[in-house]
Structure 1
Amino acid sequence: MADQPFDFSPGAQVPLQGGAGQTAATQALASAAYRDSPVADILKANNEWHESTVTKPRLSLFEPNLGEAFSRAVQSRMLGATRKALIQSFGTEPQTVVEHCLAAIRIRKERDARLTLVTGVFGVLFLPGLLLWLGLFQLRRTLAGAKDRRVGALGNLLLVAFAVLAVIALVKLPFGGFLAIYLRAMLIMPVLGWFWAKQICESTAKDLRARWSGLLAGGGVGARIPEAVPKNPHETAAEQLRQNLAKLTAEQHSNAVFYAGPKGILGMGTRWGSWQLAEELVPKEPGKEIHGFRSWDVIRSIQDRLQLLERGPLHTGGFPRPSVNNWVVSPVGENAKEVARPTGQDVDNFQVRQHEVQRICNEQQFSSGNRHYLGVQFTLWDGQLVITMMITVTVLHETLRIEVTGHALGPVHALFTTKPSPKTKSVDKTFKFWEKKEIQLPLVEPREVVRLAARAPLTWYPPLLDHLGGKLVLPEPFGLRHAWADKPWRHRFMADDAMRAATPVLRVVHAAAMKVLDENGVDVERFNNRSMMLSGMVQDPSPRRADSYDA
């Protein structure tokens, strides 16, 4: 297939943490893989363009937490054998996020292997007692989820009553022998297993929280995924995983993007501003013809000048080095659930070849088909703000039009930047009872130990857990960055940066275009007058919904 990436690597390689991936946005998204908060918390991060959903569990005892659901959803969506096309995650490194999801899954699998052993020794051998305890905890979780507080308190009362009855049964039974010993062990052994399981869960929780905190602090332990490094030619699963990670990176760097109407270019954010310069092509000297030139000639001149945006007459910091690329933009429906990347002989490793980009720029300017845009992109605020200015040049009859549009993708939702808080409780001091002190509580509550122990034997077949406990359903078309992006306009400095970038980019585009027109014998007086007018309009400080036409 032409759109399949060719593997140029020398062999099995250990996935490394690239310097470009160590950004605030990337690490914030990766930290979700290690979180232990309720899975429903991610619904707070929904935005007006994309919404995640959480399916309801059939048995709440098997319900996943946020880290479990997020890791599972990202792994299956981005590395699945039949996955659909992904939207680029500008300002982040999606491979780094996926690697952390795989690392979190491996850590939990190691914990679940030990919990499965505990369950087998202390539960399966004493199955009737295990089922009684699990049934009681499931009833307690069901009652605790009720809106009526009295019903929730009833669950705790039932748990205490069962424990009292178990103690009474242990003290005196109406019969003796092996059956009496087994009945007593049936009630005791699951409790002993719970204490052992609690130690396992507590140590793993500390490890996961340390990684969560470390990522948000800007460092942390890198993702370790030895299952992606094949040790011999027969390890097909490891080789397939390695190739899927390479394919993910190749798709991230594709030069094909999708325009979804009012939702803007997927992955770049909505279009907040649009400035158009359109004038008639008139010869500079009467009686002479204009020298032949094409849209691509203007684009090449603009591209060369945009590469120099970081340079200026004054040493004031100014622009960082921009990323300037030629994009092929495909139109999709506003509510499209999937996109299709270009394929064929003009596509190599998800990249539309240069000659095809040039053809689209010169010929596909009207009616159906893909369109060409020249984009200059700034990744700011450590990846939390992505500013993209898109330029297109069209020539219809004797009119040349240069259009510059501004797109802004804001920071990831604040949910992903919250650090883990220690679990503490305020109690009275022993002697100074009128004063309070904070005591440290275990990270894993008793009911959480039961949930993890119940899920452990089933984690080796994730679809069954998804069926029983529910799962996180990612928004489509899916891309890690834009799915949970907030608006930049709520942050004063980010909004300023987005609007300040428009004026210098617009003037550079116009200056480069005027140079090409002048060299080819075009009268640029009208273009210069129009350019001056636009220079005044672009200083309007208010962003607008440029894709919402009031017609």
Structure 2
Amino acid sequence: MTDGFDFSPGAQIPIAGGAGQTAATQALASAAYRDGPVDELLKANSDWATSSVKAPRISLFEPNLGEAFSRAVQQRMLGGGRKPLIQAFGMEPQVIVEHCLAASRIRKQRDARLTVIMAVFGLLFLPGVLLWLGVFQLRRTIAGAQNKRAGALGTALLLALGVFAVIFMIKLPFTGLLGIYLRAMLVAPVIGWAWAKTICERTAKDLRSRWTGLLDGGGIGAKIPEAVPKNPGESAAEQLRRNLERLSAEQKSNIVFYAGPKGILGMGTRWGSWQLAEDLVPADPEKDIDPFRSWDIMRAVQNELHLLERTPIHTGGLPTPFVENWVVSPIGEGAGAVSRPAGSEETFQIRGAALQKICDEQHFGSGNRHYLGVQWVLWDGQLVITLLVNVTVLHKTLRIEVTGHAMGPIHPVFNGKPKNRTKTFRKGLKFWETWERQLPVVEAREVVRLAARAPLTYYPPLLEYWGGKLNLPEPFGLRHAWADKPWRHRFMADDALRAATPVLRAVHTAALRFLAEKNVNTERFAGRAGNLSGAVQDPAPRQADVYNA
């Protein structure tokens, strides 16, 4: 006897929208359940990456937004031999992928029923089905034109076929079994369509309820039992489970990629940069400077950054920061893929002696660089503020650089809720008054599209060949591909600008204290730090990644 718990990944605990950092995750996950044209997704293209839609060869087979999004994300995030992913800070990519799998599972169940209908009413009455599909395809093609008369012509053709079918059934010269079959050939597809309509309507309401539930902050958790192996022989389920674990591990990677003017992928462009650079001079001329490395300064700064949440008075304050040692790898602005450094493919991280070596030695020339980062995820995951600290020593000059990065909210196109189809009528006598009637969720032409696609869903490559698909941008990451600018939101911009001042002063305080302990004259460092402390309060973000010649 079951106790009511479902142990499939993501199923046992529904997502709670009010707590934690879930708003961005839920908004993006809701795209898996959406309907509407896939071109709507192109409105969310950001400055960091752009997606595109492969045009269909036969428009009757083209996917809608949810179908294309779910398929593209699954293939890119879980496909075999896939390229490395860009981290989605402030989000849970595994949750989004699980919702894509759950939405695909719901659609597969619907398509299985539609396939049975197509087998019964399609194969047995194939000439009639082809005739109806041909008219719907012609109407769909003509209605897609810019000329509104062309759309009316398509509707007229559909009505003409209906009139022709009635006349054909009445005036048909054939009798016997042939006459019965020819008459049924035109009627049976209509019966199959009516049956398919009830299935499509029920599934559409289920998908829309999940879509609305996610945006409202709750909803049903994603159920993917196909990711839970029930016996040792289920290799596909085991592989899916491992791919989901690999996705979570890659999300926790401490390796990021700097794409020139596009900034750090996943963190955003560099909007501010403050550099403290002075010569290392002994405080006591009779003694040498105590030997130290860049890593030692970073350790002192790291300890100070962990104390940012403390405040001397009981009001306001910063939330607990996430402090991490990042390895930044440079790539080209137009790079189509990224590659992780050798030795990081298993754990997706660089730690220990390898990390310390990068921090101490790679200050000039080619190679990866080490940055100490402090990060806040605010606004329920919609805003990611990252400030990075870098220490370099060239000859006698010690340089401590602090840079600010900000990644804005998910594009508003992902926040739209489903809209009911309604039609407005005028009252007969009281013609100045109107009333609305709610129409079915699924239109007649949408039922035809779903029924036509259903048999081909068992072989997706063929369906994509005829119906087109969504091409995701590369290098791909769920966050930076569809992120909006934070500077368009007043309070988000304020949060990003305000965070820079306490971080910069904490970095300088820790560095000056450390240098004083090592017999370094900090007089010039302290003066320079005071100037930067005032300059950091400049209220305008700048394009620090763009170098104007």
TM-score (norm 2): 0.97
Match of 1:504 among 502, 505, 508: 502
Moved more, 16-25 or 282-291: 16-25
Following the alignment from structure 2 to structure 1, what is the Cα–Cα distance between the partners of residues 22 and 71?
Answer: 23
Tell me, in whole angstroms, the C-alpha distance in 1 between the residues paired with 2:250 and 2:76.
Answer: 14
Q: Distance in 1 between matches of 2:187 and 2:477?
A: 49
**Structure 1 residue 431, shift from structure 2 partner:** 5.5
Distance 2:519 2:489 in 1: 46
Residue 14 (structure 1) aligned with residue 8 (structure 2): yes
Cα shift at 1:435: 1.0
Distance 2:294 2:178 in 1: 90
2:21/2:379 contact within 8 Å kept = no
Cα displacement string for residues 335-386 of structure 1 (whole angstroms, at most 9, x for unaligned residues) = 0000001222x66511112211111000111111110000000000000000
Q: Which residue of 1 aligns with 2:3?
A: none
Q: In the alignment, which residue of structure 2 is the partner of 1:3?
A: none
Contact 1:21 1:92 in 2 (8 A): no
Structure 1 unaligned spans of 5+: 1-11
Q: Which residue of 2 aligns with 1:492?
A: 490
Residue identity in the other structure for 1:127 = L
For residues 324 and 454 of structure 2, the distance between their equivalents in structure 1, rounded to whole angstroms, comes to 48
Aligned to 1:7: none
Amino acid at match of 2:505: R
Residues 529 and 79 of structure 1, relative CA distance in 2, 3 Å threshold: same
Determine the structure 1 residue equivalent to 2:299: 300
Q: Helix, strand or coil for the counterpart of 1:393? A: strand
Q: Which residue of 2 aligns with 1:41?
A: 40
Q: Contact between 2:21 and 2:377, CA under 8 Å: does it hold in 1? A: no
Partner of 1:362: 360
- Which one is further off, 134-143 or 351-360? 351-360
With over 3 angstroms needed to count, the CA separation of the structure-2 counterparts of 1:348 and 1:466, relative to structure 1, is closer
1:5 paired residue number: none
- Give, as a single letter, the amino acid of the residue that structure 1 aligns with 2:482: W
- State the AA in 2 paired with 1:15: P
Report the CA distance between 1:433 and its aligned residue.
3.6
CA deviation after TM superposition for structure 1 residue 426, in Å: 1.4
Q: 2:468 aligns with which of 460, 470, 493?
A: 470
Q: Superposition pairs for residues 376-525 of structure 1, below 5 Å?
A: 376-429=374-427, 432-525=430-523
Match of 1:58 in 2: 57
Verify the 8 A CA contact 1:50 1:476 in the aligned structure 2: yes
Q: Which amino acid is 1:418 matched to? A: G
The equivalent residue for 1:213 is 212
Alignment of 1:16-31 (within 5 A): 16=10, 23-31=22-30
| Map of 1:543 onto structure 2 | 541
1:123 to partner: Cα distance = 1.5
CA distance in 2, matches of 1:511, 1:191: 78
CA distance in 1, matches of 2:7, 2:374: 33
Shift of 1:49: 2.2
- Secondary structure of the 1:194 match is helix
- Give the whole-Å Cα distance in 2 for the aligned partners of 1:269 and 1:15: 31
Q: Deviations over 1:385-435 (max 9, x none)?
A: 000000000111111000000000000000001111221121123664431
Q: Indicate conservation of the 8 Å contact 2:253/2:348, yes or no.
A: yes
CA distance in 2, matches of 1:22, 1:311: 22
| Paired amino acid for 2:238 | E
Shift of 1:149: 1.6
What is the distance in 2 between the residues matched to 1:131 and 1:80? Answer: 35
- Secondary structure (helix, strand or coil) at the match of 2:405 reads strand
CA distance in 1, matches of 2:212, 2:312: 43
Instruction: Give 1:213's aligned amino acid.
Output: T
Contact 2:387/2:404 (<8 A) preserved: yes
**Structure 2 residue matching 1:123: 3-state secondary structure:** helix
SS of 2:26 mapped into structure 1: helix
Distance 2:155 2:537 in 1: 64
Name the SS of the counterpart of 1:352 in structure 2.
coil
In the alignment, does 2:268 pair up with 1:274? Answer: no
State the alpha-carbon separation in 1 of the partners of residues 277 and 351 from structure 2.
29
Residue pair 2:377, 2:383 contacting (<8 A) in 1 also:
yes
Q: Contact 2:21 / 2:90 at 8 angstroms: preserved in 1?
A: no
The answer to whether the aligner puts 1:90 opposite 2:84 as a matched pair is no
Residues in 1 aligned to 2:264 and 2:126: alpha-carbon distance in whole angstroms: 56
User: 2-side partners of 1:381 and 1:204: how far apart?
Assistant: 33
Q: What is the CA–CA distance in structure 2 between the aligned matches of 1:455 and 1:528, rounded to whole Å?
A: 69
Distance 2:508 2:345 in 1: 31
Structure 2: which amino acid aligns with 1:83?
A: R
Contact 1:324 1:374 in 2 (8 A): yes
CA contact (8 A) 1:21 1:96 kept: no
The match for 1:320 is 319
CA RMSD between the two structures: 1.3
Pairing 1:254-265 to 2, within 5 Å after superposition: 254-265=253-264
Contact 1:91/1:386, CA 8 A, preserved across alignment: yes
Report the 3-state secondary structure (helix = DSSP H, G, I; strand = E; otherwise coil) of the residue aligned with 1:163: helix
What displacement does 1:143 show?
0.6
Counterpart position of 1:233 = 232
* Residue 527 (str. 1) matches residue 521 (str. 2): no
Tell me, in whole angstroms, the C-alpha distance in 2 between the residues paired with 1:216 and 1:203: 21
Deviation of 1:288 (Å): 1.2
Identical pairs, percent: 70
Give the corresponding residue for 2:144.
145
Query: Is the contact made by 2:388 and 2:402 (CA closer than 8 Å) also made in structure 1?
Result: yes
C-alpha contact 1:63 1:469 (8 A) present in aligned 2: yes
Instruction: Give the TM-score taking structure 1 as reference length.
Output: 0.96
